[in-house]
Amino acid sequence: MRNISFGSVNDKVSIFWLIAILFSLLLMASGASFASTTPRISAGEYHSLALKSDGTVWAWGNNSDGQLGDRETINRRMPVEVLGLKDVVAIAGENTNSLVLKSDRTVWVWGDNSDGQLGDGTTKKKYFPVQAHGLKDVIAIAGGNSHSLALKSNGTVWTWGNNKNSQLGDNTTTNRNIPVQICKFKGVVAVAGGGFHSLALKSNGTVWAWGFNNEGALGDGTNMNRSTPAKVGSLSNVTAIASGYRHSLALKSDGTVWAWGLNCYGQLGEGTTANRNTPVRVSNLSNVIAIACKGNHNLALKSDGTVWAWGSNFYAQLGDGTEENRNTPVRVSNLGGVIAIATGNSHSLALKSDGTVWVWGLNGSGQLGDDSPRDRHTPVQVKNINLIQSKVLTPETTTTQKATSLQ
């Protein structure tokens, strides 16, 4: 065989790009594509959201306020694409509305807007995405019960929506229909929205909270509401935060989880049902890499890909095959290989490494996406979606999705 050599750097570079182009053409011909976005999952009260690797957003479940973004108010039992969205990098579900962050660092919102939670300067609900007013350079978003949060690249926090319990942190109780900055509050790297309170994680590993505090959800040792951020106890080395209805979670760098606030369903996971206004460690839980909560239950993802749950289980949202509340973590049945988790009010979601989404719990509005109205006690797969594949819908699938509705 004749040896072929390339004497110059330019020759080698040309061959490199030729091979890359040919490889790309082969992938395109086979229907594959390069993943440009990290797949994500999220949920509102009774609806679910998914972000695919191609930057599109898909939604299913309750749609009474247009929170699925498909210009309809028809509930969906299987995923439908949110209209007019591309280049999305993050998603967040609120009770009855949704928000996303695009790659240009703008925020887009849709659904219920009765408290100004869409941040578009009105209180009129939107059935398709609209841009939140004046927000630029955003790097993270979060949704609460009826309020929203955005974190900018300079470490400042901006909030809007319902403020009856000072959950916007702007030292008032005035609702806001455009984003306002929390004054003199910087160095933030993550935000989370609860039922009527909010959390922020600073770069030094401390957690700050504000809003409703009757059951101690702010973790500052009191039961007084706060209209500006207050430091959560003596927590340090925190790497992630999550907010439930009236309780809060923090994940520390050592893989342990800490909780505080309302505990009537055992949602603090420390073996009792006593409320706590300072953080306590969740029992028998280690090697955790992610946490999630929305209503009165919690999920934790371990480094081995297993998921653990505790708290309210009225609708089987803990996924352990029962409807018994748990005040210490139990393993979600028949589930492994998980890379991300999310919770709705009474349902739960998990994303596996193969791009499939798995769900369990309440399903009365179709929020499990399995084309069924049945609650599920253990995980089932969401139909017709894979988050690491490009959008591929057959005419039959499209027709089925458009026709699917709940009365």
pLDDT tens per residue across span 221-268: 999 999 999 999 999 999 999 999 999 999 999 999 999 999 999 999
Q: What's domain 38-403's architecture?
A: 7 Propeller (2.130)
pLDDT of residue 349: 98
Provide the token pair at 149: 């949060």
Which letter, b or e, does each residue of 99-119 get, where b requires 16 or more Cβ atoms within 10 Å of its Cβ? bbbbeeebbbbbbbbbbbbbb
pLDDT of residue 244: 98
d(CA 332, CA 64) in angstroms, rounded, equals 30
d(CA 53, CA 388) in angstroms, rounded, equals 5
d(CA 53, CA 37) in angstroms, rounded, equals 5
User: Cβ(80)–Cβ(62) under 8 Å?
Assistant: no
Helix ranges, 98-211 (H)? none
pLDDT of residue 48: 98
pLDDT of residue 25: 35
d(CA 211, CA 197) in angstroms, rounded, equals 4
d(CA 178, CA 161) in angstroms, rounded, equals 8
Distances (CA, A) of 137 to 103, 129, 133, 266, 366: 10, 19, 13, 39, 35
pLDDT of residue 390: 54
Residue ranges of the chain with per-residue pLDDT less than 50: 1-35, 391-407
d(CA 374, CA 377) in angstroms, rounded, equals 10
pLDDT of residue 348: 98
Residues 294, 299, 300, 302, CA torsion sign: negative
H or E segment and range at residue 362: none
What is the signed CA dihedral for 87, 93, 97, 102, rounded to 10 degrees? Answer: -20
Would you say the pTM of this structure is higher than 0.85? yes
Domain boundaries, the chain: 38-403
